[in-house]
Amino acid sequence: MEWSWDHAYAVLPQLLKGLVITIEATIVASLIAYILGLAIAILKMSKSKTTRVSLYWMTEFIRRTPILVQLYVVFYVLPDFGIFLEAFTCGVIVLGVHFSTYTSEVFRAGIDNVSKGQWEAAKSLNYNPYQAWKYVILPQAIPPMIPPLANYLITMFKETPLLAFITVVELFRAADQYSNSYYTYLEPMTLVGLFFLLVSIPSAMIAMKLEKKFKPIKVAR
């Protein structure tokens, strides 16, 4: 089958609209993943063993099951309980919660990475816990976390096409709709692939620059 520029030009406006939705979904999902991930990391340091163990198994359950199935669960099951969410909202919540289990490991490793002596130093300076976090711990903990967190942002971007299957018209579904009406998969799918490469390869390069700059922590995934 021949490549047709007519199809390529015709599908482009829809794809750009889809790309905007994809990027919006990535940003919202990553915010959820970062905030929830930090919360999980802090809760996992809790003194209560029940909290730690139950959190461990909850996060492991989320990590060991496919995002696609989790999307179906939230999208199809919540309405049965009288909770009606837009498809986009369902999608970003699932993506965000799924990746929060990964980012929590980054936060935990980042905080563990600050040596014990720093806490003692903060204490000897008579800092209260707020001052210790603000002036001593976080400034040392955050920079090494940035590269792995940036990498998860790119990973989330690449998972967004799954939202297409709960009816979110993002990049992939925009192409799929065009394909179904004009019976050509070649141009729309190729362009979608190109769009993904065009966004994620430069982002990966930026992430690599960050790695050189910040000396990232090694995270056991």
177 binds another protein (CB under 8 A): no
Pick from 140, 136, 170, 155: nearest CA to 21: 170
CB of 44 to another protein, least distance (A): 18
Distance, in Å, from the CA atom of 160 to the CA atom of 172, rounded to the nearest integer, reads 9
Pick from 154, 165, 136, 171: nearest CA to 30: 154
Among 20, 45, 77, 208, binds another protein (CB under 8 A): 77
Among 193, 206, 208, 213, binds another protein (CB under 8 A): 193
Query: In the stretch 128-167, what mask flags binding to another protein with x, by CB under 8 A?
Result: ------------------------------xxxxx--x--
196 binds another protein (CB under 8 A): yes
Distance, in Å, from the CA atom of 138 to the CA atom of 145, rounded to the nearest integer, reads 10
> What DSSP string runs through 29-84?
HHHHHHHHHHHHHHHTT-S-HHHHHHHHHHHHHHHTS-HHHHHHIIIIIGGGGT--
Distance, in Å, from the CA atom of 162 to the CA atom of 152, rounded to the nearest integer, reads 16
Pick from 7, 1, 5: nearest CA to 182: 7
53 binds another protein (CB under 8 A): no
Decide whether 147 or 159 has the Cβ nearer to another protein: 159
Among 9, 56, 61, 135, binds another protein (CB under 8 A): 61
Among 110, 179, 207, 216, binds another protein (CB under 8 A): 179
Among 23, 55, 72, 146, binds another protein (CB under 8 A): 72
Positive/negative CA dihedral, 167, 168, 172, 175: positive
Among 29, 32, 41, 67, binds another protein (CB under 8 A): 67
Q: How many CA atoms lie within 13 A of 23 on its CB side?
A: 12
Decide whether 136 or 187 has the Cβ nearer to another protein: 187
List residues near another protein by CB under 8 A. 1, 60-61, 63-70, 72-73, 76-77, 80, 158-162, 165, 172, 179, 184-186, 189-190, 192-193, 196-197, 200-201, 204, 218, 220-221
